[in-house]
Amino acid sequence: MEYDFLKIERKWQEYWSKNKTFKVETDKSRPKYYVLDMFPYPSGAGLHVGHPLGYIASDIYSRYMRLRGYNVLHPMGYDAFGLPAEQYAIQTGQHPQKTTENNIRRYREQLDRIGFSFDWSREVRTCDPSYYKWTQWAFLKMFGHYYDNNSGKAEPVEKLVSIFEKEGNANVNAACSSERIFDASEWNSATEAEKSDILMNYRIAYLGETSVNWCAKLGTVLANDEVKEGISVRGGFPVIQKKMKQWQLRVSAYADRLLNGLDDLQWSDSLKEMQRNWIGKSTGTEVVFKTFNPDPVNFNAGDKGYDMIIFTTRADTIFGVTFMVLAPESEWVSKLTSKGQKDAVDSYIKQCAKKTERERMAETRTVTGVFSGSYSINPFTGKKIPVWISEYVLSGYGTGAIMAVPAHDSRDYAFARKFDLPIIPVIEGCDVSRESFDAKDGIMCNSGFLNGKTVKEAIPAALDAVEKMHIGKKKTNFRIRDAIFSRQRYWGEPFPIYYKDGIATPLPESELPLMLPDVDKFLPTEDGEPPLARAKNWTYKGYPLETSTMPGFAGSSAYYLRYMDPHNDRELVSREADEYWRNVDLYVGGTEHATGHLIYSRFWNKFLYDLGYVAEPEPFRKLVNQGMIQGRSNFVYRIIGTNKFVSYNLKDKYETTPIHVNINIVDNDKLDTEAFRKLSPEYADAEFILEDGEYVCGYAVEKMSKSMFNVVNPDNICDTYGADTLRLYEMFLGPVEQSKPWDTKGIDGVSRFLRKFWKLFFDDKGVFLVSEEKPSAGELKTLHKLIGKVEEDIEAFSYNTSVSAFMIAVNELSDMKCNKRAVLEKVVVLLSPFAPHLCEELWHLLGNERSVSFAPFPCYDASLTVEDEVEYPVSFNGKTRFKINLPRSMSQEDVRKEVIEYKDTVRYLNGRQIRKIIVVPGRIVNVVC
């Protein structure tokens, strides 16, 4: 019987779906395992072969864990809100709901063909009201809580209010956007609007004025991780900084916990490092610099001076501070601008404000700035130093003001050189005539009481001095900013917020979900209001509702919790389900979410953990980043001005332009010239200059995309080779974590392997025939080598080598003409995570009733794989070395014993005394004489 993969695959896909084979329930009698893929955004282009890579890897692991007896939760859903559907809607007028549904249908068809073991009964879609109800619910909880630094967790705002009523905020230690201190009477006499404003400074979800990334082309603000190099990640449009009032999430309050939580996670080092950098913890010192404005624009505290606070990690260099710098957006600018400098400062500020983020970045090397007219006093030297304003100082980090040490900071150095400010080195022996000395290394000099100390000693000593003088304290700063949470777009979750007399007020929970309304157009209104302003009656009890919607990461932040209990309409997840499934044991997805989704999700989870809704402080225990699969494009070379095409190795003799050619008409880099002529009328009479009778194409590795004609559709692979071959081949291509180009060339190898395996079960006439005989020692050795290898490789996520192990085993079994049930049945189980359809078919042909998915994983017996002991002497350098190959299964302890025994009984080898015995943990022993 031939291996008819199309028939087999269809048959078992229907079987799994009909029998709900992969539906799971909480089952306290069995251990759980939760395997999650990053759910896809259903784009219009459908899946290409790169998309399923991670899904296949996680599916293999799910199926493996099922064989091991775990109750495996392996769900799938769609991240369905987002910009592309909305952009398409603006162009075509088609409702994003509709295009999204169409795309989802297409995705589902494609996914189904690959034979995943998803529990589709748990599917979620972020755009579904029954789903986004819980996104809105979490937002309301964040609105209703603040972060208490003393208890180290989120607490209800009501608690804060009762403290304010009794004693004001002087003793409150909470994450807060304002430093203003007030007492109880001030609070009690405040108006509702004033109270609301004060509380906004504390809420975890809050409305706040901030400098945001504004993308005019998309008509919306964007979070920091949605902007790269000053350009929007989606669409690639320019982004500028703009002050706007926006909803934000106080992620910064969780910075320390987000950082510390990383230690216990089984994530790749590079990913953890990325998150650490993004969180950007730095410990330093806050120092007060007395600052005077000799001629203030407005008469105020000018003559008494201001206490200007700066943040530094190099308190040791205070003796080298020769000037101060303010960010252009700093609130100090207006206070410290003197009359004489007012015009210059104003024009500089204006110039800075106009620049886009991209322009500011492009000009990182050009130094700009202006003198404010004011002076500070260096607290250590007592010297008067000028205060400057420059855009190289960021308003959002630290206090928006710095002390400049040009001798030991390259940015300060460049500034000092440009504006001719003094440069005083404070570390012995460094040459600052050409560049600054930035290293934290050396002995202090020119530094009074710090002289003679090393930099490492001087930093705490300087901090000590500053504290004794009462002009500073130890301080930790974070780079991570609060997440900007509103988008001026249509296709997202509406905020459950209305404005009662201008005060942002939460909707009662009973009103959730607040449904996304219909609008006539998906564009902003004439007056620049977001599209939701077009909706009729977008009000609650007569008050206007918020018109922004939530960003993409809102819906993806807690979806892993929803899968645990997807149909619960009373809770996000029931306590029972949460306590059983807890968190994701294995999460597979791309590295592009390192500083977005993976931070927000951890934050969201920690918040819900504080409130007692979830049992685990971290959502994803182990994380594997699958690499990207790139396309392999082919080129033909057209001789300029002709319709002649020259083969790759001859192209240098002509003036040519490379043209992308559809990879479907190229085989092994050889062009099908007839098919090429038929491609378009333009090429109908194309001529070819061949080499060895063939047209050889050039190639390049590029992103897989329609415009490069290099897209490989998994459906086509399933048609010609079958889903099992596709799965195996994607794994065989290389380590899952690695990016690599797709090349269909090698697929014949795995295809051959599967057919070879299939043949083991049939006799010469093609009749299914397995023998009930006892397997030979050789057959058992092959089998158990395979079991050991496969088990080890799956655990290590090294699927490419396990596919190789299968090929070796099947070659060996084939050579031995092994058709014994006792061996083949176990191989079927082992292979079933990789090639589920084929194995399900064989499993049933072997007479089993239940799906192979629940067969027990074969037991590994190392003693059956023992190699014969070999012992051979090797001589070198006049010494003699004996290498003893001991069985692989032998424990290190046994090896040691064996060797000691050897040394005691055999003191001499080849007439030489044994000098040294080197035991390499494992099995190889060197005896040096």
Partner RNA sequence: GCUCGAGUGGUGGAAUUGGUAGACACGCAGGACUUAAAAUCCUGUGGUCAGAAAUGGCUGUACGGGUUCGAUUCCCGUCUCGAGCACCA
Footprint on residues 750-789 left by RNA (CB under 7 A): 750, 752-753, 755-756
Q: Check: CB of residue 726 under 8 Å from CB of residue 717.
A: yes
Give the binding range for RNA (CB under 7 A) out of 30-38, 133-141, 523-531, 726-734.
726-734
Q: For RNA, which residue of 202, 311, 348, 485 counts as binding (CB under 7 A)?
A: 311
Count residues contacting RNA (CB under 7 A)?
79
- To RNA, the closest distance from the beta carbon of 311 in angstroms equals 5
Give the binding range for RNA (CB under 7 A) out of 125-133, 152-160, 355-363, 846-854.
355-363
Q: Check: CB of residue 182 under 8 Å from CB of residue 168.
A: yes
Q: For RNA, which residue of 145, 314, 453, 534 counts as binding (CB under 7 A)?
A: 314
Instruction: Rule CB under 7 A: say whether 699 interacts with RNA.
Output: no
In sign, the C-alpha dihedral spanning 376, 380, 383, 386 is negative
Residues between 808 and 837 that touch RNA (CB under 7 A): 808, 811
> SS3 of 429, please?
coil
Q: Nearer to RNA by C-beta: 90 or 414?
A: 414
Query: Could you give the CA distance from residue 454 to residue 433 in angstroms, rounded to a whole number?
Result: 22
- To RNA, the closest distance from the beta carbon of 184 in angstroms equals 36
Residues between 223 and 242 that touch RNA (CB under 7 A): 224-225, 228-229
How many other C-beta atoms lie within 10 A of the C-beta of residue 650? 14
| Residue located via tokens 């395979």 | 786
Torsion of CA 301, 307, 308, 311, to 10 degrees: -170
- To RNA, the closest distance from the beta carbon of 410 in angstroms equals 8
Instruction: Rule CB under 7 A: say whether 273 interacts with RNA.
Output: yes
Closest to 686 (Cα-Cα) out of 638, 654, 651, 649: 638
Give the binding range for RNA (CB under 7 A) out of 527-535, 840-848, 904-912, 920-928.
920-928
- To RNA, the closest distance from the beta carbon of 598 in angstroms equals 12
Q: Nearer to RNA by C-beta: 231 or 445?
A: 231
Q: Nearer to RNA by C-beta: 201 or 725?
A: 725
Q: Check: CB of residue 114 under 8 Å from CB of residue 67.
A: no
Q: For RNA, which residue of 180, 542, 680, 876 counts as binding (CB under 7 A)?
A: 876
Give the binding range for RNA (CB under 7 A) out of 273-281, 300-308, 506-514, 658-666.
273-281
Query: Could you give the CA distance from residue 145 to residue 196 in angstroms, rounded to a whole number?
Result: 13
Instruction: Rule CB under 7 A: say whether 595 interacts with RNA.
Output: yes
Give the binding range for RNA (CB under 7 A) out of 28-36, 67-75, 357-365, 416-424.
357-365
Residues between 368 and 407 that touch RNA (CB under 7 A): 391-394, 397-398, 400, 402-403, 405
Residues between 734 and 753 that touch RNA (CB under 7 A): 734-735, 738-740, 743, 745-746, 748-750, 752-753
Residues between 465 and 504 that touch RNA (CB under 7 A): 477, 479
Positions of E strands within 564-647: 584-589, 620-625, 629-639, 644-646
**CA distances, 719 to each of 10, 110, 138, 193, 379 (Å):** 11, 12, 45, 65, 77
Q: Which residues are within 8 A (CB) of 728 and not within 5 positions of it... i.e. 6 or more apart?
A: 750, 753, 754, 803, 834, 835
Instruction: Rule CB under 7 A: say whether 361 interacts with RNA.
Output: yes
Instruction: Rule CB under 7 A: say whether 313 interacts with RNA.
Output: yes
Instruction: Rule CB under 7 A: say whether 878 interacts with RNA.
Output: no
- To RNA, the closest distance from the beta carbon of 668 in angstroms equals 6
Query: Could you give the CA distance from residue 71 to residue 890 in angstroms, rounded to a whole number?
Result: 33
Q: Nearer to RNA by C-beta: 188 or 891?
A: 891
- To RNA, the closest distance from the beta carbon of 543 in angstroms equals 38
Residues between 31 and 70 that touch RNA (CB under 7 A): none
Q: What are phi and psi of 46, to 5 degrees?
A: 80, -175
- To RNA, the closest distance from the beta carbon of 810 in angstroms equals 8
- To RNA, the closest distance from the beta carbon of 33 in angstroms equals 24
Q: Check: CB of residue 882 under 8 Å from CB of residue 873.
A: yes
- To RNA, the closest distance from the beta carbon of 177 in angstroms equals 17
Q: Nearer to RNA by C-beta: 398 or 551?
A: 398
Q: For RNA, which residue of 66, 133, 145, 411 counts as binding (CB under 7 A)?
A: 411
Q: Check: CB of residue 603 under 8 Å from CB of residue 666.
A: no
Q: Nearer to RNA by C-beta: 604 or 806?
A: 806
Q: Nearer to RNA by C-beta: 190 or 394?
A: 394
- H/E segment holding residue 603: helix 597-610
- To RNA, the closest distance from the beta carbon of 104 in angstroms equals 27
- To RNA, the closest distance from the beta carbon of 822 in angstroms equals 24
Q: What are phi and psi of 879, to 5 degrees?
A: -100, 160
Q: Check: CB of residue 389 under 8 Å from CB of residue 333.
A: yes
Instruction: Rule CB under 7 A: say whether 875 interacts with RNA.
Output: no
Instruction: Rule CB under 7 A: say whether 351 interacts with RNA.
Output: no
Give the binding range for RNA (CB under 7 A) out of 147-155, 289-297, 897-905, 917-925.
917-925
Instruction: Rule CB under 7 A: say whether 888 interacts with RNA.
Output: yes
Q: For RNA, which residue of 542, 612, 693, 921 counts as binding (CB under 7 A)?
A: 921
Q: How many residues does the chain have?
A: 929
Q: Nearer to RNA by C-beta: 69 or 746?
A: 746
- Residue 821 token pair: 């049930």
Query: Could you give the CA distance from residue 353 to residue 579 in angstroms, rounded to a whole number?
Result: 51
Q: Nearer to RNA by C-beta: 93 or 778?
A: 778
Query: Could you give the CA distance from residue 753 to residue 804 in angstroms, rounded to a whole number?
Result: 10
- To RNA, the closest distance from the beta carbon of 924 in angstroms equals 4
Written as one letter, the residue type at 784 is H
Query: Could you give the CA distance from residue 586 to residue 609 in angstroms, rounded to a whole number?
Result: 20
Q: What are the percentages of helix, strand and coil residues in the chain, rounded to 5?
A: 40, 20, 40
Give the binding range for RNA (CB under 7 A) out of 508-516, 586-594, 704-712, 714-722.
586-594
> SS3 of 336, please?
helix
- To RNA, the closest distance from the beta carbon of 612 in angstroms equals 33
- To RNA, the closest distance from the beta carbon of 757 in angstroms equals 11
Angle at 844 between CA 839 and CA 845, to 5 degrees: 95
5-19 and 723-732 helices cross at what angle (nearest 10)? 100
Give the binding range for RNA (CB under 7 A) out of 13-21, 107-115, 536-544, 873-881.
873-881
> Taking CB under 7 A as the rule, which mask of x and - marks residues 535-574 in contact with RNA?
----------------------------------------
Instruction: Rule CB under 7 A: say whether 277 interacts with RNA.
Output: yes
Q: What are phi and psi of 744, to 5 degrees?
A: -70, -15
Q: Nearer to RNA by C-beta: 413 or 485?
A: 413
How many other C-beta atoms lie within 10 A of the C-beta of residue 426? 27
Residues between 123 and 152 that touch RNA (CB under 7 A): none
Written as one letter, the residue type at 107 is Y
- To RNA, the closest distance from the beta carbon of 391 in angstroms equals 5
Query: Could you give the CA distance from residue 321 to residue 319 in angstroms, rounded to a whole number?
Result: 6
Task: Pinpoint the alpha helices (H) of 208-322.
Answer: 255-261, 269-279
Q: Nearer to RNA by C-beta: 5 or 146?
A: 5
Let me know if 412 is exposed, middle or buried by CB neighbors in 10 A (0-12, 13-18, 19+): buried
Torsion of CA 328, 329, 330, 333, to 10 degrees: 50
Query: Could you give the CA distance from residue 794 to residue 447 in angstroms, rounded to a whole number?
Result: 60
Q: What are phi and psi of 258, to 5 degrees?
A: -65, -35
Q: For RNA, which residue of 188, 270, 642, 649 counts as binding (CB under 7 A)?
A: 270
Residues between 654 and 693 that touch RNA (CB under 7 A): 668
- Residue 52 token pair: 């399923």
